[in-house]
Protein backbone atom coordinates (compact mmCIF):
# COMPACT_ATOMS: atom_id res chain seq x y z
CA UNK A 1 0.00 0.00 0.00
CA UNK A 2 1.10 3.53 -0.74
CA UNK A 3 1.75 5.93 2.13
CA UNK A 4 -1.45 7.87 1.28
CA UNK A 5 -4.39 6.67 -0.77
CA UNK A 6 -7.65 8.38 -1.76
CA UNK A 7 -10.66 6.37 -2.96
CA UNK A 8 -14.05 7.51 -4.28
CA UNK A 9 -16.98 5.78 -2.56
CA UNK A 10 -19.94 6.26 -4.92
CA UNK A 11 -23.05 7.42 -3.10
CA UNK A 12 -21.13 7.73 0.18
CA UNK A 13 -18.18 10.13 -0.18
CA UNK A 14 -14.42 9.57 -0.10
CA UNK A 15 -12.01 7.37 1.83
CA UNK A 16 -8.51 8.49 2.74
CA UNK A 17 -6.09 5.83 3.98
CA UNK A 18 -2.75 6.62 5.55
CA UNK A 19 -0.12 4.02 6.39
CA UNK A 20 1.67 4.92 9.62
CA UNK A 21 5.30 4.20 10.46
CA UNK A 22 4.02 1.64 13.00
CA UNK A 23 2.49 -0.39 10.16
CA UNK A 24 -1.05 0.53 11.19
CA UNK A 25 -3.42 2.06 8.68
CA UNK A 26 -5.75 4.93 9.52
CA UNK A 27 -8.72 4.99 7.18
CA UNK A 28 -11.00 8.04 7.21
CA UNK A 29 -14.35 7.98 5.43
CA UNK A 30 -15.88 11.39 4.76
CA UNK A 31 -19.57 11.07 3.98
CA UNK A 32 -21.41 13.54 1.76
CA UNK A 33 -23.36 14.51 4.91
CA UNK A 34 -20.15 15.67 6.62
CA UNK A 35 -20.00 12.72 9.01
CA UNK A 36 -16.54 11.20 9.43
CA UNK A 37 -15.68 7.63 10.34
CA UNK A 38 -12.13 6.83 11.43
CA UNK A 39 -10.84 3.27 11.44
CA UNK A 40 -7.48 2.15 12.81
CA UNK A 41 -6.37 -1.16 11.31
CA UNK A 42 -3.45 -3.31 12.41
CA UNK A 43 -0.79 -4.64 10.02
CA UNK A 44 -3.07 -7.57 9.10
CA UNK A 45 -5.97 -5.24 8.21
CA UNK A 46 -8.03 -6.08 11.31
CA UNK A 47 -9.93 -3.14 12.82
CA UNK A 48 -8.41 -2.12 16.16
CA UNK A 49 -10.80 0.77 16.86
CA UNK A 50 -13.32 3.09 15.25
CA UNK A 51 -14.44 6.64 15.92
CA UNK A 52 -17.38 8.50 14.39
CA UNK A 53 -17.32 12.30 14.31
CA UNK A 54 -19.75 14.99 13.25
CA UNK A 55 -18.55 17.59 10.75
CA UNK A 56 -17.91 20.12 13.56
CA UNK A 57 -16.10 17.56 15.75
CA UNK A 58 -13.88 16.65 12.79
CA UNK A 59 -13.02 20.32 12.23
CA UNK A 60 -12.13 20.76 15.90
CA UNK A 61 -9.98 17.63 15.89
CA UNK A 62 -8.36 18.76 12.67
CA UNK A 63 -7.37 22.05 14.29
CA UNK A 64 -5.74 20.18 17.16
CA UNK A 65 -3.90 17.81 14.79
CA UNK A 66 -2.81 20.71 12.58
CA UNK A 67 -1.24 22.42 15.58
CA UNK A 68 -3.62 25.40 15.79
CA UNK A 69 -3.72 25.20 19.58
CA UNK A 70 -0.32 23.73 20.35
CA UNK A 71 2.80 23.28 18.29
CA UNK A 72 5.77 21.83 20.16
CA UNK A 73 8.89 23.86 19.39
CA UNK A 74 12.29 24.44 20.90
CA UNK A 75 12.78 27.32 23.33
CA UNK A 76 14.61 29.56 20.84
CA UNK A 77 12.04 28.95 18.14
CA UNK A 78 9.18 29.63 20.58
CA UNK A 79 10.69 32.97 21.57
CA UNK A 80 10.97 34.02 17.92
CA UNK A 81 7.41 32.91 17.14
CA UNK A 82 5.95 34.75 20.12
CA UNK A 83 7.72 37.96 19.11
CA UNK A 84 6.14 37.80 15.65
CA UNK A 85 2.71 36.33 16.38
CA UNK A 86 -0.21 38.25 17.86
CA UNK A 87 -3.46 36.70 19.08
CA UNK A 88 -6.26 39.14 19.80
CA UNK A 89 -9.82 38.83 21.09
CA UNK A 90 -12.06 41.39 19.39
CA UNK A 91 -15.77 42.18 19.64
CA UNK A 92 -17.95 42.68 16.60
CA UNK A 93 -20.05 45.87 16.88
CA UNK A 94 -23.43 46.08 15.10
CA UNK A 95 -22.06 48.42 12.42
CA UNK A 96 -19.12 46.20 11.42
CA UNK A 97 -18.90 45.17 7.80
CA UNK A 98 -18.57 41.55 9.01
CA UNK A 99 -22.08 41.37 10.51
CA UNK A 100 -24.22 38.98 8.48
CA UNK A 101 -21.30 37.80 6.35
CA UNK A 102 -19.19 34.66 6.25
CA UNK A 103 -15.38 34.59 6.29
CA UNK A 104 -15.44 33.75 2.58
CA UNK A 105 -17.84 36.58 1.68
CA UNK A 106 -15.79 39.12 3.62
CA UNK A 107 -12.54 37.67 2.22
CA UNK A 108 -10.96 38.20 5.64
CA UNK A 109 -7.73 36.27 5.08
CA UNK A 110 -6.96 37.85 1.72
CA UNK A 111 -7.82 41.39 2.82
CA UNK A 112 -6.07 41.39 6.19
CA UNK A 113 -3.89 38.28 6.49
CA UNK A 114 -5.38 37.18 9.82
CA UNK A 115 -6.81 33.78 10.64
CA UNK A 116 -10.02 33.56 12.68
CA UNK A 117 -9.33 30.69 15.09
CA UNK A 118 -12.68 30.78 16.81
CA UNK A 119 -15.75 32.76 17.81
CA UNK A 120 -17.40 33.10 21.20
CA UNK A 121 -21.15 33.61 20.85
CA UNK A 122 -23.46 33.66 23.89
CA UNK A 123 -20.77 31.99 26.05
CA UNK A 124 -20.38 29.16 23.51
CA UNK A 125 -17.00 28.62 21.82
CA UNK A 126 -17.16 27.91 18.09
CA UNK A 127 -13.70 26.77 16.97
CA UNK A 128 -12.70 27.04 13.32
CA UNK A 129 -15.93 28.61 12.03
CA UNK A 130 -16.94 27.22 8.64
CA UNK A 131 -15.76 29.87 6.13
CA UNK A 132 -18.75 29.40 3.82
CA UNK A 133 -21.63 28.82 6.25
CA UNK A 134 -20.92 30.54 9.58
CA UNK A 135 -22.39 34.08 9.61
CA UNK A 136 -21.12 36.69 12.05
CA UNK A 137 -23.51 38.43 14.44
CA UNK A 138 -23.18 41.64 16.47
CA UNK A 139 -21.54 40.91 19.82
CA UNK A 140 -19.54 37.93 18.56
CA UNK A 141 -16.08 37.74 20.09
CA UNK A 142 -13.53 36.70 17.45
CA UNK A 143 -10.17 35.16 18.26
CA UNK A 144 -7.82 36.26 15.50
CA UNK A 145 -4.15 35.55 14.93
CA UNK A 146 -1.53 37.09 12.67
CA UNK A 147 1.46 39.36 12.92
CA UNK A 148 0.95 42.75 14.59
CA UNK A 149 0.42 44.58 11.29
CA UNK A 150 -2.17 42.05 10.09
CA UNK A 151 -4.15 42.18 13.33
CA UNK A 152 -4.16 46.00 13.34
CA UNK A 153 -5.27 45.95 9.69
CA UNK A 154 -8.13 43.57 10.63
CA UNK A 155 -9.24 45.86 13.48
CA UNK A 156 -9.21 48.93 11.23
CA UNK A 157 -10.75 47.23 8.17
CA UNK A 158 -13.68 45.65 9.99
CA UNK A 159 -14.20 48.22 12.77
CA UNK A 160 -13.92 45.73 15.62
CA UNK A 161 -13.06 46.53 19.25
CA UNK A 162 -10.23 44.94 21.25
CA UNK A 163 -11.47 43.06 24.31
Pick the CATH number of 75-162 from 3.20.20.60, 3.40.50.620, 3.30.70.1450, 3.40.50.150: 3.30.70.1450
- Whether the pLDDT of residue 154 is over 90: the answer is yes
pLDDT in tens, 53-94: 988 888 888 877 766 666 665 555 555 556 677 888 899 999
Mean pLDDT score of the chain: 87
Percent of the chain with pLDDT over 90: 60
pLDDT at 88: 86
Domain with CATH 3.30.70.1450 in the chain: 75-162
In the sheet that holds 115-121, the strands lie side by side as 124-127, 115-121, 141-146, 86-91, 161-162
pLDDT score for 86:
82
Averaged pLDDT, 118-146: 92
Sheet-wide strand order for 4-9: 4-9, 13-19, 25-31, 36-41, 47-53
In the structure, what pLDDT confidence band is assigned to residue 134 with cuts at 50, 70 and 90? Answer: very high
Report the pLDDT value the prediction gives residue 108, as an integer from 0 to 100. Answer: 95
What local confidence, expressed as pLDDT, does residue 144 receive? 92
* CATH number corresponding to 4-53: 3.10.450.460
Amino acid sequence: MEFFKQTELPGIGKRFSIKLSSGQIVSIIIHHSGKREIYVLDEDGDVECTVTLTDQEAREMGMVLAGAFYQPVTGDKMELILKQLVMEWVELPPDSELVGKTLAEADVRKRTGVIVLGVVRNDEMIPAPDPKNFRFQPGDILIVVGNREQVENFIKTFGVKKQ
